[in-house]
Each structure stands twice: as C-alpha cells, then as structure tokens.
Structure 1
C-alpha cells in the first residue's frame, strides 16, 4: 500500500465549510478503485493547514484510475474553491513500522 499525502492550505475562515465538503466527498474515495483509507488532519499550530492522507493499493490507483475519474472531478469541485494555494501532493511507502 502507498499513501497519498496532500498538504492543503485553505482560505481563512472557511474551516467548517471545507471540512463539510471533505466529509461529503468521503463516498467518492470509498468507492474508488484501490482506495483503502482516507482521513483529514488539521494543524494545531496553523489552523488553515490540513493534511489529507489516502491509502491506495497502488500508485496507479491514485494517479491513473482516480485522477482520471468523474469522482476526482467531483472531489475537486467540492473542495477546490477553498484552496489558498494549490495542494502539494506526494506519495509515501511505509519503511519502518514501530508499534
């Protein structure tokens, strides 16, 4: 499994609406090919910064299948207007599991 980590900075004073939009998008991820998990984290130090963490079976499940889907277009329609800057996305492999 790989993890998509999206660093998202939203416009000030839009937290509740952004979080509601992400909640509305949960079924889009749940139904996506190869998607195993999804959660959103909010920074304690800087409340306009979030991290979306999505577990995918393969890199292609995210970069090809999801990004090429209607679900991705719906996702971007729901949340894109909240972005202060374009999200920074990277893909990670777990290399050490402590406990």
Structure 2
C-alpha cells in the first residue's frame, strides 16, 4: 500500500466552497482503481491549510491510472480554482509500526 499526502493551501475565505467541492469529488476516488481510502484533514493552526490523504494499492494506481483518467481532470476542475498554490504531493509507505 502507498499513501498519497497532498498538502493543499487554499485561498482565504474559500473554506466552505472548497469543502463542498471535495465532498462532491468523493465518488471519483471511490471508483478509482486501487484506491481504498480518502480523507481530508484541516490544519488546526492554519485555517487555509489541508492535507489530502489517499490510500492506493500501488504508486502506479495514483501516478498513472488515476492521473491519466478523466476523473482526475474532474477532480482538478472541482478543486483547482481554490488552490492558493500548487499542492505538494508526497507518497509514503509503512516503515515501522510501533503499536
């Protein structure tokens, strides 16, 4: 499993509309090949900062299959206008489980 972490900074004052757009996009992730979970976390310190967390079976499921799909284009059309800057995307995989 690979987890996508996308740090998203939105334009000030667009919180409610951004959240509505992400909610509208949930089915895009639900039907994406290899996607098993998706959630959006909000920063406690910075009201315009979010972290999109998406679990993928493989890196290719995200970087190739999803990003080359029409659903990715729909995702970007829904939320891209709210971005204050391009999101920073990283992929992580389990290294150690403490408990």
- Give the structure-2-normalised TM-score: 0.98
Structure 2's unaligned 5+ residue stretches are none
Instruction: State the partner residue of 1:40.
Output: 40
Residue 74 of structure 1 is matched in structure 2 by 74
Report the 3-state secondary structure (helix = DSSP H, G, I; strand = E; otherwise coil) of the residue aligned with 2:79: helix
Report the equivalent of 1:95. Answer: 95
* Structure 2 partner of 1:21: 21
Deviation at 1:98, TM superposition (A): 2.3
* d(CA) in 2 for partners of 1:29, 1:86: 20
Q: Give the secondary-structure state (helix, strand or coil) at the position aligned to 1:40.
A: strand
**Structure 1 CA distance for aligned equivalents of residues 76 and 60 of structure 2:** 19
Alpha-carbon distance in structure 1 between the residues aligned to 2:56 and 2:20: 23
Stretches of structure 1 that go unaligned for 5 or more consecutive residues are: none
Instruction: Kindly tell me the number of residue pairs found equivalent between the two proteins.
Output: 99
Pairwise CA RMSD:
0.5
Moved over 3 A (4+): none
